[in-house]
Amino acid sequence: MPTTHPEPRPGMAGLVDRYLGPGATPLDRVRVMLAGGGGALLGLLTVPAPLTERLLLGLLAAELCAGLMAALNHAGKAWIHRPHRRQGRMALHVGYQCLILGAFIWLYRGQDVELLQNAAGLLIAASISIMVTPRPAQRAVGLVALLAVMFAIQQWHGLPTAAAWFLPLFFARTFLAHLPAPRPDTAGTEEH
C-alpha cells in the first residue's frame, strides 16, 4: 500500500471523505448510498414495530450497510488502515461498534444487560484477536470470529426474532470488512 494517503477535503466534503475514504470514486459513492438506502429499507420494512422503533432500526441498518460498503472499497480500507492510525483508533472504533450493538440490544431486548455484556465482550475479544493476527490471516480469523460469536450468542441467549438479520450483518461488517487490514499484494486494486 502506498505510504501517503490523500487528506480529506475541507468542509462538508471532508465529512464524506472521512466516511468513504479520501479518493473514493463516484462509483464508490453510489455503492455506499445504495447500500445505506437498502439498509434503511431493511430496517423500516422488515420488523413489525412502532414507527419510532422502525425509524431507529432503519437508521442503524443504514449506517451498518453503508459502513460495510465503505469499508470494502479501496479508499475506505486505506483510510481505516492508514499507518499512523492503526491500534489506538481501531480501539476507539471497536468502542463505537459497542455503542451500536448496545442500541440494537436496547431496542430489541430491552434491558438485557447480560446479553449486552456477553456480546460486547465477544466483540472486543474477537476484535483484539483479529488485530493481533498477521495480516495474511486476518480475514480467516475474522470469519472464525464471526461464526464463533454468532454461535455463542445463539446458544447463550438466542437471536432476537425481530431483525434477526442485524447481528450477523453487524459482526460481518466489523470482523470481515473493518478490522482486517488490506493485504499488501492487493494494494491499489479494488480487490482486497
Most confident of 54-58, 59-63, 142-146: 142-146
Residues 5-16 pLDDT 10s: 678 888 888 888
Mean pLDDT of 39-68: 91
Q: Alpha helices, DSSP H only, in 2-137?
A: 12-20, 26-45, 51-72, 74-80, 86-109, 113-132
* CA dist list (Å): 90 to 16, 46, 93: 19, 32, 5
DSSP three-state, residue 78:
helix
Q: Say if residues 182 and 77 touch (Cβ distance below 8 Å).
A: yes
Q: How many CA atoms lie within 13 A of 95 on its CB side?
A: 6
The three cell numbers of residue 114 are 447480560
Residues 63-118 pLDDT 10s: 999 999 999 888 888 887 777 766 677 788 899 999 999 998 888 888 899 999 99
Q: Say if residues 45 and 55 touch (Cβ distance below 8 Å).
A: no
DSSP three-state, residue 22:
coil
Mean pLDDT of 117-141: 95
- Mean of pLDDT over the chain: 86
Does pLDDT of 2 surpass 70?
A: no
Backbone angles phi, psi at 48, to 5 degrees: -75, 100
Residues 165-176 pLDDT 10s: 899 999 999 999
